Structure 1
Amino acid sequence: MSHQPIISRRTFAGGTALAAAALALPALRAQTKLEKNKIALAVGGKAAFYYLPLTISEQLGYFKAEGLDVEISDFAGGARALQAVVGGSADVCSGAYEHTINLQSKNQMFQAFVLQGRAPQIAFGVSTKNMPNFKSVAELKGKKIGVSAPGSSTNMMANLVLSRAGLKPGDVSFIGVGTAAGALAALRSGQIDALSNTDPVMTMLEQKGEVKIISDTRTLKGTIDVFGGPMPAACLYAPTEFIQKNPNTCQALANAIVHGLKWLQTAGPGDIIKTVPESYLLGDRGLYLASFNKVRESISPDGIIPDDGVKTALKALASFDPAIKPDKIDLSKTYTNAFARRAKEKFKA
């Protein structure tokens, strides 16, 4: 199927602007030489709205415009993507901010440097097929709960919901189901009793009455209800040492993401459909767009990580993970807004 005719006037204008910018670029590039222009980036569940800004920046050529050649590897969930960076097969992770706190508690220093989402966009739902008479979270004891991948932020959200009902992570079985067609199939076939996952998956199940949503962070209000404050979600993070050695490269990455965030501020549903790969729609364009409208406000407008949000994240993690001691964590080392602020200024985001 050819995608030629779909090029909108806007993309075409953008293309000519890019060409003009490319002519002017050598002068700019001389001032800030990238320490590393080939970047291996790991992400867990790229088709989810959670990482929409990453996909937009990639598809619209914003990484290339910054002189970067970014190779994106997609894993089943954030915990797997993180392992790729820890193991050295990827340079940068597109993942949940709270991983930087977890890592610091294990004496591994990582830093988030540009925000994609200002709400986790995760919903927790119980299968109406397996548990039609569901009344309280306590009934999930001994049940199977689907998450994107064990140890990912979907797992963290499930742990939080369970802990508030007096259940420990060991009281249930967590099963990794990814964030796309596999998650839908696992719930529909009855393999799992509940699911903690992102959109578009959760909206698709909710609209068809297949799950009963019991906890929801797809909106800013829902996030405050669940976490007690703003909660930074998807971001780009990397080992602190990598950021110190490659400041211009990290600036270019932050620029590309903030450029994508700026585009998303005014993009209509039709623009999104034209830009994301067809497979992301999971076979239902209408429901995909319904999900987009639901999570739209949770996309960061400018890439800046909120200072009060990092405190919320620490409090949430410490509430169910005894290995995390809040007084031993230096939050100021888990994130920096230096790159995002410069990018925000550059693109007037």
Structure 2
Amino acid sequence: MRRLFAGRTLIVGVLAALTLSACGTGEPDNSATGGSGGLEKSALTIGVVAVPDAAPIQIALDRGFFKEEGLDVKISVEVGGAAATPKLVAGQLDAMLGNYVALFLAQQAGAGKFKVVADSYQAAPDNFVIMAKGDNAAINTAADLAGKKIAVNTLNAIGTLAVTATAKVAGVTINEKEQYVPMPLPEMGAALETGTVDAIWVAEPFISANAKAGAKKVADSMAGPLENFPIAGWVMTEKFTSENPKTVAAFQRALAKAQNLAASDRKVVEEALPKYTKIDAATAAVIALGTYSTSLSEARLQRVADTLTEYGMIPAGFDVKALMTSPAPAQ
């Protein structure tokens, strides 16, 4: 089995990052509150990335679903899951939208003990794509990615898995150490234009923005083996869920209402996107969106684990059940 990532290096890197974060001087407010229907904690800070995956959290805020449950929720916009995870472990965030690839790798590395309290988002056609300069005749399909520099938002995450899998189907083996260039999504267009990278892996709103700037689609990275792939879920630490069960249940109930709305009414998503992303209303109306999940499925999480095992990123036997929480009881 080909190893995409050196396990020991990954563990040391993740643990070092988390240790540095945990030693920061910021003291999170972990005070309990008993004034909101017996909730252990009513004020929550939720880390999100400014992409469509996180729309349900904005919908829940807009519709008052959190307030109905006695929760005061604030959004903290993060660069990505890799940046948010140390904050979650350190208690600076109470929950976050986490991409499953990075989450499973962090759990496997011992960087923390996590719980998925709700599913959020699955891929759909053309909402995670590989792009190149429109006038670059050397890159037209995934088969042309051999030896090329490819920008991804973080290493060891959904982007690297998606590009590697897409290239493999086209008969290309990606050298992750030599070819992947990590950078924030907003910077990728400029890097492509200057030739710093040859291709970029992007989601909306950056697909539309780069297309307007002249970039072309090379491949849909969520086709073939990753069709309808589970992307992200709402994550807390095991410690938080065990110490705050009523708060967790309230969060789950509010979020379930929002996830159901997002899944059934695209207009609700379109209204939410401009409020926490740089996607304007006109773009929100036409971009490709994934699927908003309405239940947490062991089978979907197992698919992520099996795919990571196939690509040598985690060993066989990863326990997805240890990551799952039960849905909140109705009230």
Q: 1:285 to 1:187 in 2, by over 3 A?
A: farther
Which of 284, 298, 305 is residue 307 of structure 1 equivalent to? 298
Match of 1:240 in 2: 238
Gaps spanning 5+ residues in structure 1: where? 1-27
Match of 1:169 in 2: 176
Contact 2:149–2:180 under 8 Å retained in 1: yes
Q: Partner amino acid for 2:56?
A: P
Match of 1:216 in 2: 221
Q: CA deviation at 1:268?
A: 4.9
Which of 57, 61, 64 is residue 58 of structure 1 equivalent to? 61
Match of 1:25 in 2: none
Cα deviations across residues 246-303 of structure 1 (Å, max 9, x unaligned)? 111111111121111222244353x444444357354x54333111xx325x111x2x
Contact 1:204–1:287 under 8 Å retained in 2: no
Match of 2:109 in 1: 106
Contact 1:100–1:109 under 8 Å retained in 2: no
SS at match of 1:255: helix
Match of 2:285 in 1: 289
Cα deviations across residues 118-173 of structure 1 (Å, max 9, x unaligned)? 33775231313463232554543443322223344223322433455222311303
Which of 116, 119, 122 is residue 115 of structure 1 equivalent to? 119
Q: Partner amino acid for 1:311?
A: Q
Contact 1:232–1:305 under 8 Å retained in 2: no
Q: 1:52 to 1:102 in 2, by over 3 A?
A: same
Which of 157, 160, 168 is residue 165 of structure 2 equivalent to? 160
CA distance in 1: counterparts of 2:47 and 2:162, whole angstroms:
21
Normalised by the length of structure 2, the TM-score is 0.77
Cα deviations across residues 162-204 of structure 1 (Å, max 9, x unaligned)? 45522231130322123xx444444445443212222232244
Q: 1:152 to 1:245 in 2, by over 3 A?
A: same
Which of 60, 74, 79 is residue 76 of structure 1 equivalent to? 79
Q: 1:263 to 1:122 in 2, by over 3 A?
A: closer
User: Aligned runs of 1:122-141 on 2, under 5 Å?
Assistant: 123-129=128-134, 131-135=136-140, 137=142, 139-141=144-146
CA distance in 2: counterparts of 1:264 and 1:285, whole angstroms:
16
CA distance in 1: counterparts of 2:202 and 2:231, whole angstroms:
13
Contact 1:118–1:231 under 8 Å retained in 2: yes
SS at match of 1:338: coil
CA distance in 2: counterparts of 1:173 and 1:99, whole angstroms:
16
Normalised by the length of structure 1, the TM-score is 0.73
Structure with the largest fraction of helix: 1
Q: 1:65 to 1:154 in 2, by over 3 A?
A: farther
Contact 1:124–1:197 under 8 Å retained in 2: yes
SS at match of 1:90: coil
Q: Partner amino acid for 2:292?
A: I
Match of 2:260 in 1: 262
CA distance in 2: counterparts of 1:335 and 1:98, whole angstroms:
15
CA distance in 2: counterparts of 1:128 and 1:182, whole angstroms:
14
Q: 1:248 to 1:202 in 2, by over 3 A?
A: same
Which of 325, 331, 334 is residue 323 of structure 2 equivalent to? 334
SS at match of 1:57: helix
